[in-house]
Amino acid sequence: MGDRACVDLASLLHADQGLLVGAYARGLFLVLAETEETPYAPPRPFRVNAGAVGSYVMLPDNRTAYLAELRTGGAVLVCDAAGECRPEALCRVKVERRPMVVLEATIEGTKYAALLQNVATVRLATPAGPRAVTELRAGDAVLLSLEVDAARHKGVPIYETCSER
């Protein structure tokens, strides 16, 4: 269980668009907008059920913020599976207590993670297309945005040693 943030945007997103979110600033998962109908909810293409409030999210100016810091009128970076990105205005952030799941990915021995709501409306970008977090299994590939040379301090890239666990 944990507090998760739904990020409602001022514009509609397409099925392969979402926010870059993660537990570690060096590797952010592409969490997609709620564009698909599920037995639990109708499509909400303006919304990204982005994850735990302590997660990082990418902003338009190459900075990160915690999901808990986002406010109406601010902006986030919306990206798609091809790596095209654009700034988008925030309408609101809704925080509610929900069941969570830890998603982990390992690339060349480095571990990346995200704490996401464990529900079918949370989808991630994969090489094969959008996939619900509830459908992912060990060994499945997901798309990440990696920061290989820098760590982050107060959301700004820095070039020093930093260990996140």
pLDDT for position 164: 59
pLDDT for position 120: 93
Domain that holds residue 115: 2-158
Q: Is residue 163 part of a domain?
A: no
pLDDT for position 109: 87
pLDDT for position 8: 98
Q: Is residue 67 part of a domain?
A: yes
Q: Is residue 7 part of a domain?
A: yes
Note the pTM of the prediction, 2 decimals. 0.89
Instruction: Reduce the DSSP state of residue 79 to 3 states and report it.
Output: strand
Calculate the alpha carbon distances from 119 to 52, 60, 99, 111, 114 in Å: 13, 28, 8, 23, 14
Q: Where are the beta strands (DSSP E) in the chain?
A: 2-9, 17-24, 27-32, 47-52, 56-58, 64-66, 75-80, 85-98, 100-107, 110-117, 123-124, 131-132, 144-146, 151-153, 156-158
pLDDT for position 148: 58
Q: Is residue 127 part of a domain?
A: yes
Instruction: Please state the domain count of the chain.
Output: 1
Q: For tokens 């040693």, what's the residue? A: 161
pLDDT for position 151: 57
Cα 143–Cα 148–Cα 149 angle in degrees, nearest 5: 160
pLDDT per residue over 131-156, tens digit each? 999 999 999 999 999 875 655 555 55
pLDDT for position 18: 98
Q: Is residue 164 part of a domain?
A: no
pLDDT for position 165: 61
Sign of CA dihedral 9, 11, 12, 13: negative
Please identify every stretch of the chain with a pLDDT value under 70, giving residue numbers as ranges: 148-165
Q: How many CA atoms lie within 13 A of 91 on its CB side?
A: 12
CB 73 within 8 A of CB 89: yes
